[in-house]
Structures are given as C-alpha cells and as structure tokens.
Amino acid sequence: MIDGLQKAKNLMDNGQYMPAVEILQNISKLSTKSESYRLLFMSNCWYKLGEYQWAIDIADNLLQRDKHNELASQIKYLSYCGLKDFDKALEEIIRFLSFNEADVYKITLEELLADIKNGFINEQAIISKIKGLALKNNCLK
C-alpha cells in the first residue's frame, strides 16, 4: 500500500480519524485501486467523526466509480442511519442489493428481517423488497 495510505490506515486503526483525513486529503496521483482505498478510508473517517453527510458524499463518489463496493454502500447506509434518515438508509441497501450479492450486508438483512418480525417496519412494499433480497442472498431461515 502507498506510504500515505498506510500511514492513514494506521491512524484510523488507532482511532485518530482527523489526522488520517488530513493525510488522505493531501494524497494525489494514485492508481485507480489506491484512489478507491483513499476514498473508502476518508468516508469511513468522516463517518467515525459523526460527519455523516460528508461520509455519504465521499461514499457516493466511490460508488459512482465502483458500483460493487459494498463497504462504501454500507458506510452510506450507516451514515443515513446516523442522520436518522431511515428511508434513505433503506433505499441505499435496496439499491445496492438489487444488483449486487450481499456479503457484509447479510447481517444487516438479518437485522431488517427481525425488525419486520417485531413490527418496526410496516410498509408492505419495503417488506416485500427486503424479503426478496433476503431470499436472493440466502438470509431467510
């Protein structure tokens, strides 16, 4: 991994998100793969710092480059939850899983199924879509 990315990752691993962001903002001329890591790390830092809209914007930028990046989608989903915008959070998970298989999102799908069972999600169209995605991703028990 490029030196700057590794330094930022080490800072992130130690909970030092703002210093990591400062490094990440000053890295340029990266390969496509390294740039994806830079954006993912930066989005995660902003999420951890509670700057949810910035995390969403950067994750969205990464998803425009790589629509299969499940971690970027999950940061976006969690950031919408942090903003208490649960409709957009559900839209994000449904959007992503409509054309990608779940890996990290399998646990989230299982949690959403529990929310449906417990009556926390009541809108029939959303319930149907979540159950369909759970079935597609082998999350129904």
Full set of structural domains in the chain with CATH: 3-84 (1.25.40.10), 101-141 (no CATH)
Q: Which whole number is the average pLDDT over 120-126? A: 88
pLDDT of residue 101: 86
pLDDT of residue 141: 62
Amino acid at 64: Q
| pLDDT tens by residue, 28-70 | 888 999 999 999 999 999 999 999 999 999 999 999 999 999 9
User: pTM for the whole thing?
Assistant: 0.87
Residue corresponding to tokens 């915008």: 85
Angle between helices 32-48 and 17-25 (to 10 degrees): 150
Q: For residue 32, what are the CA distances in angstroms to 36, 82, 97, 122, 126?
A: 6, 29, 24, 42, 35
d(CA 46, CA 33): 20
Q: What percent of the chain has pLDDT over 90?
A: 63
| pLDDT tens by residue, 71-112 | 999 999 999 999 999 999 999 999 999 888 888 888 888 999
pLDDT of residue 76: 97
d(CA 129, CA 57): 25
DSSP string, 16-78: -HHHHHHHHHT--S--HHHHHHHHHHHHHHHHHTT-HHHHHHHHHHHHHH-TT-HHHHHHHHH
Let me know: does 141 contact 131? Beta carbons within 8 Å.
no
The two three-digit tokens of residue 100, written as one number: 């990608």
pLDDT of residue 99: 86
Q: Which whole number is the average pLDDT over 17-28? A: 95
Sign of the CA dihedral with 32 first, then 34, 35, and 39 last: positive
